[in-house]
Structure 1
Amino acid sequence: MEIHHPTPIPPAHTAPLMPVQPGGIPAVASVVLPDGRVVTGYAVTPVQPEPVTHKPPVSRAAVNIALGGVGFAAVCGGLFLLTAFITALTALITQLVILAAVIFGGWVAVQVFSASGHKGGTTVHIRKAVIKRNHFHT
């Protein structure tokens, strides 16, 4: 039976980066890797992400739909009042027509039933007439 013991890996020693010169072209930085290789290059600054715009907690479409519902409810109330007004106006006109018919009918009835006892006006007396050979003789 064989037993294998792992060998520890020594920690890597990296050379510190050289600071970037202010303004102009940045300085070249060199890094020494643990195996002895040297990597040389410019220090790259990380790209900053675009700032996220603040979004409202409620979408604009939802607000428009809600406002439309409130407006529709207000219009429905107005339409209900309008229909109630039209109904009342129709009832008033109907009652006025009935009242006019009763008054006019009463006036006609008075004229018809009181005509037999009425003595005024023009009276025409017709005597017995004889018609001979297209001549009218009285």
Structure 2
Amino acid sequence: MNEPTTPYDWHRPAVRDAAAVEVHHPTPLAPIPHTAPLVPMQTGTIPAVTSIVLPDGRVVTGYAMEPVKPEPVVVKPPVSRAAVNIALGGIGFAAVCGGLVLLTTFIVALAALVHQLIILAAVIFGGWVAVQVFSASGHGGGTTVNIRKAVIKRNKFYG
């Protein structure tokens, strides 16, 4: 168990026996004679077998693959309909906002005019009342009673 071992060299690959490596070469199959009638097949359904010889002498056999053709690209408009509709809605809203600003300005101006008219009417009516109360011009048609000597007997007025 405790036998000395040879040092392992990490830089050199391990040497294997040449007899342990087996090389397999494909053997071609002999063609089979056709006894049954051939059924016609559509061309292009079974691709042809292709053999390629590599630079080191190996032969690779397989089916040739056709490149995948991409589906045709559907031409889309540069801008989506939803974006156009949103933009048009924004333009319409901006146009309406100008009218709404003018409408609110008109309503505020009308309210201010009514307010001023009410104040003007109060001033004019109040002035007219003041003139009526404080005027010193003659009698306006009321009854004036001058009391100089008044005698009241038994709740009766004698003037």
5 Å matches for 1:1-138?
52-114=73-135, 117-124=138-145, 128-130=150-152, 135-138=154-157
| Paired-residue identity, % | 74
Residue type of the alignment partner of 2:117 = L
> In the aligned structure 2, how far is the partner of 1:77 from the partner of 1:119?
59
Deviation of the 1:58 alpha carbon: 0.3
Deviation of the 1:54 alpha carbon: 3.1
Whether the aligned pair in 2 keeps the contact of 1:130 and 1:137 (CA below 8 Å) is: yes
- Bigger relative contact order, structure 1 or 2, given CA contacts below 8 A and separation 6+? 1
Residue type of the alignment partner of 1:89 = L
Whether the aligned pair in 2 keeps the contact of 1:130 and 1:136 (CA below 8 Å) is: yes
Give the TM-score normalised by the residue count of structure 1.
Answer: 0.53
* Structure 1 pair 98–73 and aligned structure 2 pair: CA distance change class (3 A): same
Residue type of the alignment partner of 2:121 = A
Alignment length (residue pairs): 114
Whether the aligned pair in 2 keeps the contact of 1:129 and 1:136 (CA below 8 Å) is: no
**Structure 1 unaligned runs (5+)?**
1-19, 22-46
Larger Rg: 2
